[in-house]
Each structure stands twice: as C-alpha cells, then as structure tokens.
Structure 1
Amino acid sequence: MSCNLPVIKTCNSLVFFDLETTGIPAFHSPKITELSFCAVERNQFLHGQPKQVPRVTNRLNLCIYPSRLVDPVASDKTKLDNYNLEHQSKFDEDVFNVIYSFLNRLKKPVCLIAHNGFRFDFPILRSEIAKLDKELPDEIFCADSLHIFRKLQRPSANSSSVIEDTTKTTVESPLVSTPVNPFQLINEKTPEKKERNELKFTRNTEMKCRKRLTFRLEDVYERVYGQKPVTSHVAEADVIALLLSAIATPIEFLNAIDCDSVPFTSIKKCW
C-alpha cells in the first residue's frame, strides 16, 4: 500500500475480520458466502492475556447467499454451498446497513484487520459494497495482519530492537513494562565468539529457516501457541484465531496497526 496515504494516529477499536467466498480471485470474481467481525476496544486489547478472548467484545456473523455457484474446492473447505445457503439473504442493502451500523457504533478511529486482507478480504468487501453504491463510515481504516506477522515473526536478530524502538515512540500504554514476546524465541542472537565453520553453519541454518517460514494464519497461530487452531475456514473461528495470535503481543501488534493502516476507501475493488 502507498506510504503517502494517511494512517491512524491512535486506533481506538480493532475489528478482526474474515470472510469466506465462492472461490479465489484467480479463477473468477468471488462473492461472499460468510463474514465475521469481532471488535475489541484498544484498552481491552492492550490489557489482554495470551490465548484469551477479552471479556468485552462486539461480534457480528452473517451468512450470505452468493447468487452464483460456490466452487467445489471452496465448498469442501468452508462446508458452505448453494444448498445450505439458499435461504440466506443476498449481500443487499439490508446486509450493508447491518455492517454499517455495527461499525458505526464503535469508538473511532476503527481499524479492520484481516489476514491477507489487502489481497483478498478488503477488495472483495469493497466490491460488494460498491455494487450497492454505498460506502462505510468515515474513520474506517484497515490493516493486513499477514504483513504485520511477517515483521514480528521473522527470524532476524534485529527484529526485537526494532519492536522496542517502535514501542517507545508510538505507544502510550499504561503498562509499566513490555511483556515477553514469544516471537523473540526464534530471534536469539548468535554468541559473539564462534569458530568460522560454526558461524557459517549458523548462517546457513538461519537462511533455511527463513525460507521455510510460512505465514498462513494457522502457521502464525502455531508459532505462538505450539498447536494449530482447532477449526479453520469458518469465518468466526478464523477471526478468533487471528485475535488470539495478535493479543499474544498486544503492544507490538498495536504499534504496527497504528503505523501500517490505510483508509478502507483506498482499497481497490477486485471486480
């Protein structure tokens, strides 16, 4: 995303977001079959505990009839098809009004957070809304957690110092100290005195580790908690997995949201 776009100075509401669709954009113009929002107020998020959903959240879950055939591959993953969705409403003005009202009642600025959101969730949602000649409320921003976790979980010896500097300059937190970052377990520094061959081996190992590191949501979650999410490809379950992955390091994650978010209106439609 362009660095010239305005960003949130202080995000007051985080809305973890996921949607399921009829397929992937590479093969056709995907339509929404399910969407889920889980909103958490900034202070609730900052004082959250790993693997615990904050007690105070606002949630919205909707199933949508897509008005087109659901791809069999997508149906196999999501367990949604044209038969079990046939009595659900289409993405019409009523659905938009529900989403608008849900987001509009939250303390602003509001940031939608989706995994791979810039390439998938946000363009699809923007397309569905634009089809109705509608727009979301002002002060709605968005951020891609895939980009954020790439920064936080990369196996780099310098990543911990970058996070520390960012914390000092961008977060005004009532917390006295920064909690231990579980991502730093993969960032341990190599001792200064090493034999040349041992140092070469270490560098080669780090390069292989960097190449193998993947950032699917289930992989991100597993690196944080040592196990994969129980359920995947269900919008609400993926939203909770994303929230729990983020809340393990709330200060670092919120720093990135405040720095990397862009207006939702800047997202290009995909169809």
Structure 2
Amino acid sequence: MKILFQTCKFRQFPSHRNMSIKTFIFLDSETTGLPFRESNKTRITELCFIAVQSDHISVGVFPRIQNKLHFCFNPRKFIDPEASQVTGLTNELLEHQTEFDASCFNVMREFLNVHRKPICLVAHNGDRFDYPILKAEIYKTGNEMLDEVLCVDSLLAFRYLHDNVLKNDTPVEEEVASNASVHLDDGFDDILNNVVDNIELQKCAKLTVEEIQKMNETTPIKKKTDYKFVKLAGVKRKIFVERPSFTLGNLYQRLTSKLPLDAHRAESDVNMLIECAAKVGQPFVDWCNSNAKRFCDIPMMVPGKPIGK
C-alpha cells in the first residue's frame, strides 16, 4: 500500500498537472482560537474529512457516495471563550478526547491512502487557515505529507468562478442606470486584496472571532465613488457591481437557495462546501485541476510569522 504521508524532500513522482484529480477530500477544522490572538500556537479541536469522487462532483448532484473521518481533539491548551461560543467546544467537553498525535496521524494517512489518486484536499479559506494549522499539527507528530497530496482553497475557486462562470448565469438584481459609475480594469482589486492583511491587523483587536472569520472569507469591498463617465480609447471598462460575500454560509445560501446548516460544526461546514461544489459541477473540477498545488508547499503556521507567508 503506497503511503501518502512522508517527508517532503522526496520528489520522485510525476507532475500532478499530467493527471486529473480522482478524489476530493473536503475538510474543515475548528480551533482553539485565531492564530494571531494565540501567537500562532493555535490547536485543532475538531477535524472532519469527507472524501468524494471527482466525477460525482462533475455531474452536479450532491454525492451519495461519501467516506468520512471525524475527530474531536483535546488541544491541551486553553480554548478562547469566543471560539467556544462559536464552535460549541469547550475544554470540559474535550477533556477525555485524544490529542492530535502520531496515532491520529496514522489514521488520517490510511484514510487518504484507501482512495483513488490523485487526491486533492479542499478547504474554504484553507490557504490562510486550515492548511497552515493542519500542517503545524502534523509537524508536531514528526511527520509530513508527501508531494502527491494536493490541495485547493475553495474560497479562491468560488471567487474566480463567480467572476468568470457563475455571474453569467445569474441575472443582475440591481438596475444599473446608463450613467452608472464605472471603474477601470486596472488591477485595483488585486492591490486592495494585497493590503487587506494590514487593514485587518489594525482592526483585529476590536473584532470578535466571528467578525474576523467573516472578514477573512469576504472579498474586500471597494467604496463607490462618483465618477464622470469618460470615453477612453482602447481602455476596457466595467459597470461596477458590488461583489457578493464569499463566506461559506453566504455562498451556500446564494448557490442553493437554502439556509446554512449548523455553521462552525466541522461536518456541517464540509457538507455545505460539498453541496456548493456539486452545484457548480464540472467548472469547479476544472478549476481544481488547473490550480491544485502540493500540500507539502503550503507554508506552515509558525510563531512570529504571518500565516500564508
């Protein structure tokens, strides 16, 4: 049986770009708090994996075939009261649960190993939250993931798909006047996204856990400004329409027309994410095949260094 978790230095496998993803493993984690409030010493309190075949996502129906792995962990550290309020998990409830140790890692390894390869992890805001924290937990057990395990951040996927696929199939609800404000396609949104981390750090001390998570998962909104409509030769222009929220709950409600499930319960969040992916279908699978990267290359959460850097 081929082992998918191994030291990252072994790079003798063919590029995943030559192979389509066969299995998606959607995941969500709940934690002791937010890393910047805990000096990047955050621990996982709940972790849920649900594996589905990629071709079942492609057909656009919530997959009947699912394989699940669900852990609750004793973090061996104090859980932020606000995190407990959000997740429903307290130190008292988790007192007799195992901590995230080598035995749990071995179970995770075997769970991934029984599924068809290539395997790709999927987490919402995974690049900036779930993956760096999970990688730190795995590192504490003395293990690392092999190159073959891929990953994508579904937050990035749905932002892209909204701009390039989904919005073309969704009628615009707001009427746009002929003299509506416009903005140039000059990359301003990209610049705004690059500086949002600094803005968040200035405000974070006054925000609750839920507010910060919502801010992390929401595309920064550019304030509308009154512009005079000026014709510029050779310059691409767009009608400015406010971009929707991409928090998992809002995304789920927008795509499925249903109220969100029990938010911040790991399995509920994973099921919502799977349903969103299945609602989009083949375009979601195509995006993942084009943008998947190795979990091995995700920067690990370490003290004194911003996550994702």
Quick one: distance in 2 between partners of 1:263 and 1:44? 23
Per-residue CA deviation, residues 160-193 of structure 1 (Å, 9 max, x unaligned), is 4xxxxxxxxxxxxxxxxxxxx58720569x9xxx
Find 2:177's aligned residue among 170, 176, 198.
198
Identical counterparts, % of pairs:
37
SS of 1:67 mapped into structure 2: coil
**Corresponding residue for residue 269 of structure 2:** 238
**Corresponding residue for residue 257 of structure 1:** 288
8 Å contact from structure 1 (residues 231, 238) kept in 2: yes
**Corresponding residue for residue 137 of structure 2:** 128
Once the 2 structures are TM-superposed, how far is the Cα of residue 138 of structure 1 from its aligned partner?
4.5
| Cα distance change on mapping 1:252 and 1:202 into 2, 3 Å | farther
8 Å contact from structure 2 (residues 32, 45) kept in 1: yes
**Corresponding residue for residue 92 of structure 1:** 101
Normalised to the residue count of structure 2, the TM-score between the two structures is: 0.70
8 Å contact from structure 2 (residues 27, 47) kept in 1: yes
Find 1:140's aligned residue among 139, 144, 149.
149
Per-residue CA deviation, residues 31-74 of structure 1 (Å, 9 max, x unaligned), is 0000001101122222241xx3x111111110000010000010
**Corresponding residue for residue 307 of structure 2:** none
Find 1:184's aligned residue among 169, 190, 209.
169
Once the 2 structures are TM-superposed, how far is the Cα of residue 207 of structure 1 from its aligned partner?
2.4
Matched letter for residue 14 of structure 1 = F
Quick one: distance in 2 between partners of 1:225 and 1:202? 31
Quick one: distance in 1 between partners of 2:172 and 2:26? 27
Find 1:46's aligned residue among 58, 63, 82.
58
Structure 2 unmatched ranges of 5 or more: 1-14, 184-223, 225-238, 303-309
Count of aligned residue pairs for this structure pair = 230
Per-residue CA deviation, residues 189-248 of structure 1 (Å, 9 max, x unaligned), is x9xxxxxx93222758952522xx221101111110223312100000000000001100
Per-residue CA deviation, residues 131-153 of structure 1 (Å, 9 max, x unaligned), is 11112344110000000010112
Matched letter for residue 116 of structure 1 = N
8 Å contact from structure 2 (residues 58, 282) kept in 1: yes
Structure 1 unmatched ranges of 5 or more: 1-5, 161-180, 191-196
Normalised to the residue count of structure 1, the TM-score between the two structures is: 0.79
**Corresponding residue for residue 217 of structure 2:** none
